Amino acid sequence: MKIFLVEDDTLLNEAIATTFSSIGYQVTTFSDGKVAFENINNSYDLFMIDINLPHVNGIELVKQIKKVDSEANIFIMSADLDIKTILKAYDIGCADYIKKPFDIREIIAKIKHTLKLPVGIIRFKHCPDSAYNTEKKVFIYKEQEIRLTAKELRLLEMLIKNANNTVSNEQIENHVWGETFKNGHVRQLVAKLRKKISCNIIENHNSTGYIISTLN
C-alpha cells in the first residue's frame, strides 16, 4: 500500500505517517503544495490531501492527480466544514472528505473500505507479492497457490495469529508438535517453509523465536 500524503501541519503529518508506517503502509509525505504538485505520479494506491496548503491548494492538487490518474483514490482532509467546499471536493473527484480533527483509526477503516481490501486475506509487510487466505487456508505467492504441509500450516497460522509479535521456539513446538525438543525442530521447519514460499516473511528474533510482520 503506497500513500501520497500532503499536510502542512508538521506534527499531524508525522503522526499520520508514523501510524501508517507501523502497519506496513509506504508513505511519501509533503508539506508544501507546490512540491507535492511537482511529484504527482500514478504509482500510488491512495492520495491524502489537505486543502489549505502553501503555494498550491489541495483542490488544485486533486485536479492534477485526476489528470495524471483518472482512477486515483483521493481523500481530502480539512477543517473547512462549508458545504460548498465539501461538494466541490466531491465534484472534482475525491473519494472521501475527512473532517478535522479525526481519529486515525477511522482513516484506516475508510482506506480498507474504499480500496476494498479483501476480507480474510492477510498480506505481508516484507513481501507484497504474497498473501494468506485464512478461509481457504492457502498461501499465495505471485498469484500461485503454494501447497503446505499440516505442520507448515500450523506454524504459519500461529505466527500470523501473533503477527508483529515474537513467538518463542517453545510456543511453536508446543503448538505444532504438542511437546518441546532440545534439537532444531523449529529451525528446520522454518527453513522448509521459507524455501517453499519463496519469500522471507518469517524473521528470526534474537535467536529466541520468530516473527511475521503483516499489513493488516
pLDDT tens for residues 76-99?
A: 999 888 889 889 889 998 999 999
**Right CATH for 121-212 from 3.20.20.20, 3.90.1150.10, 2.30.110.10, 1.10.10.10:** 1.10.10.10
Residue 134 sits at φ, ψ, to 5 deg, of -70, -25
- Give the pLDDT mean for 186-206: 88
pLDDT on residue 198: 82
CA 83, 86, 91, 97 torsion-angle sign: negative
CA 172, 174, 178, 179 torsion-angle sign: positive
114-125 CB burial, b ≥16 within 10 A, e <16: eeeeeeeebbbb
Residue ranges of the chain that CATH labels 1.10.10.10: 121-212
Q: How does DSSP classify residue 163?
A: T
pLDDT on residue 117: 58
Whether 151 has a pLDDT exceeding 80, the answer reads yes
* Cell 516473527, residue located: 211
pLDDT tens-place string over residues 27-82: 999 999 999 999 999 888 899 999 999 999 999 999 999 999 888 899 999 988 88
pLDDT on residue 6: 97
pLDDT on residue 37: 96
Strand partners, 205: 209
- Reported CATH class of domain 2-114: alpha beta
Rounded Cα gap, residues 164 and 108, in angstroms: 18
Predicted TM-score (pTM) of this structure: 0.57
Rounded Cα gap, residues 5 and 35, in angstroms: 12
| Residue 6 near residue 30 (C-beta atoms within 8 A) | yes
Whether 152 has a pLDDT exceeding 90, the answer reads yes
pLDDT on residue 164: 84
3-state secondary structure of 40: coil
pLDDT on residue 119: 57
Residue ranges of the chain that CATH labels 3.40.50.2300: 2-114
The fraction of the chain above a pLDDT of 70, given in percent, is 97
